[in-house]
Structure 1
Amino acid sequence: MTPSSQAGTRRSLQSLLLKRFGMAVGTYVLTGLLCGVGVFAGLFNAPPLAVLGIGALATFSQLVFLGLFLSRLNLRLADPSLTEPQVLVALLWLTALLSQFSEGRGSLLVMYMLILLFGVFQLPPKVFARCALVAFLGFAGLNLYEAYTLQLRAPRMALMQACVLAVVLVWLCLFASYAQAMRQRMRQRRFALQAHQDTLRGMMRQLEDLAATDELTGLCNRRHFLRLASCELENLRGDRQHGLALLDLDHFKRINDIHGHAAGDRVLQTFAAVARACLRDGDVVARYGGEEFVLLLPNTEADQFTACCERLREAFSRAEPLGVQVANLSVSIGMTLLSADDDLDEALQRADQALYQAKRDGRNRCAATWEDVDA
């Protein structure tokens, strides 16, 4: 992964974490509104200033978390979302807030669940169970302390509330474990799907290569060459020209009859290797069919094209196929030039006519359609 892509990933992650933090802040705001209702209903033991003090400290804690996110110090931690610290701090402030209620404490127990739901899909099951235990111990400890100091007004109601909270927390722990297992399974399936997709893409590339390549020589096949030549012709502009040639190995049938088809295959492979060595980058040579090949030289002139074809013809005449004793290798070449307003099929016909002219003139030579025009 490049540094720029890594930076983009970090920015995306930090943006997501800030959104989750905004949801946590929204929970604090809703809890504050509920406290306002409690103050209005006269359900607090402490004066409103105590509630405001708890609210101020809770706000300060959130500003600390916000500073960690904005400074990106959270990205250096094992859990950049800071889910567990945020959950524990929220549970602490909720328990402190419940200690100020005289009645209606049970109506705010739902806030314990709301806080813990924040970590259902993020915290590992053991960490979530630890947070749930902190919530239960906080609420149970609050009631036990009030019972010890004889401040608990309704012990039976407090016992019922603690039991309900315990049942709900156990259910949340089981649900968190199930959610994490499902998330892990989905992650594994996603990785498996990604691996299958990579395999399929690799197979598609192999199929494309097989569809575009002649298996024996490793050159482009006829279909792929025609597609490339059509694209080159469409992109041809102005007075530029492309060179197009058809090449036919001389007396190839005799080689097969005398030396066998394996020798013939080795001769075809030898010609392909010679052609690759003689051509420039960007030049295209393909097996057109049987012992016939086709050549395309983009952006060339008649004399340059002729020199290239002559160089190829002479190099092949000196070639010695490995493991085969074949003498007098030669190739006949028919050349033409492609202009911007040309038709590829007509140009191939011109090259084919020039090739037959080279054959009639004795083989092992190059013939060109523009020579006929000059004559």
Structure 2
Amino acid sequence: MSSSSQRVTQRRLQGLLFKRFGMAVVTYALTMLLCVVAMFCGLVQATLPAAVLIGALVVVSQLCFFALFRSGRNLRFKDPSLTEPQVLVALTWLTLLLALFEHARGSLLVIYLLILLFGVFELPPRVFARCAVLAFSGFAGLNLYEAFASRLADPAAAFLQVSVLAAVLLWLSLFASYVQAMRQRMLQRRFALQAHQDTLRGMMRQLEDLAATDELTGLFNRRHFLRLAGRALENMSGGRQHGLALIDLDHFKRINDVHGHAAGDRVLQTFAGVARACLRDGDVLARYGGEEFVLLLPNTDCDQFAACCERLRDAFSRAEPLGVKVDDLSLSVGMTLLSKHDDLDEALHRADQALYQAKRSGRNRCEAAWEEVDA
């Protein structure tokens, strides 16, 4: 993955983590609002300065988390979401907060569930169970401490609250394990589907290559060339010209008759190799049919195009097919130029007429039909 893609991924991840952190802050705000309501109802034992101190410490802890997310340092941790630290800090603050309540303590037990719900989809089962044990231990320890200190107002109600919390936390731990197992199966299916999609894309690319390529020479086939040439003609800007040539290997039938079709195939492959060495990356060469090829040179003029075709003709005449002894290799070329408002079929017809003239003039030569383009 490139550095730019990594930065985009990190920005998206940070955006999601900020949203989750915002939900946590809202939960803190609602809890503090409930505490204010409890204070006005006379259900809180602590003095106002003590309550303000706990509230200030809660705010400081959240500012520390905010600074980690804002600076991006959370990305250095194994879990960038910092879910477990946030859950543990929230459970600790809630347990200390419940120590300020007496009879209304059971009303705030639901906050334990809200805190742990943040870890259902993120924390591994063992880590989630550890957080649940901490929540239970804190609440049960608080009630035991008050029981030993003879400060527990209603032991029966406290026992019921501890039992209810234990049952709910056990159920929530089992549910978290089930959710994580489902998530793992979904990830495995996603990876398997991604692998199948990659395989299908690879097969589609191979099919596209097969549909566009001549199997023997590795060049484009006629259908794909016509598609490329038509697209190049549509996108041609005014004042520019493309070179178009039909190329025919001379006496190819004689090569097949004398040396066999395997030798003829080797000659075709030799021409393809020679042409690749002579042409530029943007030039388009295709097997038009049999021993005939078609060439498109973008953005050229008659002199440049004629020089290119002559260079190709000369290189092929000096080529030696591997494993085959064939004398006097040669080719004939019919050339023309394409302008912006030209018709591809008409241009191919001009090139074909020029190729016919090259054949009539003795082969092994390049003939052009420039005048029809200028007209």
TM-score range, shorter chain: over 0.9
| Residues 21-53 of structure 1 deviation map (CA, whole Å, 9 limit, x = unaligned) | 111111111111211222222222333443333
Relative to the length of structure 1, the TM-score reads: 0.94
On the 8 A contact 1:309/1:333 being kept in 2, the answer is: yes
- Structure 1 residues 22 and 30: CA distance shift in structure 2, 3 A: same
| Structure 1 residue 192 corresponds to structure 2 residue 197 | no
Query: Which residue of the partner structure matches residue 214 of structure 1?
Result: 214
Distance 1:82 1:372 in 2: 75
Q: Which moved more, 1:109-118 or 1:312-321?
A: 312-321
On the 8 A contact 1:219/1:286 being kept in 2, the answer is: yes
Alignment of 1:100-115 (within 5 A): 100-115=100-115
Query: Which residue of the partner structure matches residue 319 of structure 1?
Result: 319
Partner AA of 1:135 in structure 2:
A
On the 8 A contact 1:121/1:179 being kept in 2, the answer is: yes
Alignment of 1:324-363 (within 5 A): 324-363=324-363
| Residues 295-343 of structure 1 deviation map (CA, whole Å, 9 limit, x = unaligned) | 1122222233222222222222222211112222221221222222211
Query: Which residue of the partner structure matches residue 17 of structure 1?
Result: 17
Distance 2:133 2:162 in 1: 12
Alignment of 1:49-128 (within 5 A): 49-128=49-128
Q: What is the deviation of 1:372?
A: 8.6
Q: Is the partner of 2:327 in helix, strand or coil?
A: coil
Alignment of 1:218-257 (within 5 A): 218-257=218-257
| Residues 203-234 of structure 1 deviation map (CA, whole Å, 9 limit, x = unaligned) | 22222221111110111111111112112222
Q: Is the partner of 1:35 in helix, strand or coil?
A: helix
Partner AA of 2:367 in structure 1:
A
On the 8 A contact 1:44/1:103 being kept in 2, the answer is: no
The root-mean-square deviation of aligned C-alpha atoms, in Å, is: 2.0
| Residues 142-185 of structure 1 deviation map (CA, whole Å, 9 limit, x = unaligned) | 11111111111211111111111100000111111111112222
Query: Which residue of the partner structure matches residue 261 of structure 2?
Result: 261
Q: Is the partner of 1:280 in helix, strand or coil?
A: coil
Distance 1:266 1:304 in 2: 29
| Structure 1 residue 174 corresponds to structure 2 residue 165 | no
Q: Is the partner of 1:245 in helix, strand or coil?
A: strand
Identify unmatched segments of 5+ residues in structure 1: none
Distance 2:255 2:6 in 1: 60
- Structure 1 residues 108 and 372: CA distance shift in structure 2, 3 A: closer
Q: Which moved more, 1:40-49 or 1:122-131?
A: 40-49
Distance 1:53 1:366 in 2: 95
Q: What is the deviation of 1:80?
A: 2.4
| Structure 1 residue 303 corresponds to structure 2 residue 277 | no
On the 8 A contact 1:74/1:80 being kept in 2, the answer is: yes
Q: What is the deviation of 1:371?
A: 6.8
- Structure 1 residues 74 and 340: CA distance shift in structure 2, 3 A: closer
Identify unmatched segments of 5+ residues in structure 2: none
Distance 1:320 1:227 in 2: 33
Distance 1:49 1:274 in 2: 91
Distance 1:177 1:93 in 2: 25
On the 8 A contact 1:246/1:293 being kept in 2, the answer is: yes
- Structure 1 residues 299 and 173: CA distance shift in structure 2, 3 A: same
Q: What is the deviation of 1:373?
A: 9.6
Relative to the length of structure 2, the TM-score reads: 0.94
Q: Is the partner of 2:103 in helix, strand or coil?
A: coil
- Structure 1 residues 93 and 306: CA distance shift in structure 2, 3 A: closer
- Structure 1 residues 46 and 239: CA distance shift in structure 2, 3 A: closer
- Paired-residue identity, %: 75
Partner AA of 1:60 in structure 2:
V
On the 8 A contact 2:245/2:333 being kept in 1, the answer is: yes
Q: Which moved more, 1:304-313 or 1:339-348?
A: 304-313
- Structure 1 residues 60 and 339: CA distance shift in structure 2, 3 A: closer
- Structure 1 residues 154 and 203: CA distance shift in structure 2, 3 A: same
Q: What is the deviation of 1:198?
A: 2.1
| Structure 1 residue 28 corresponds to structure 2 residue 28 | yes
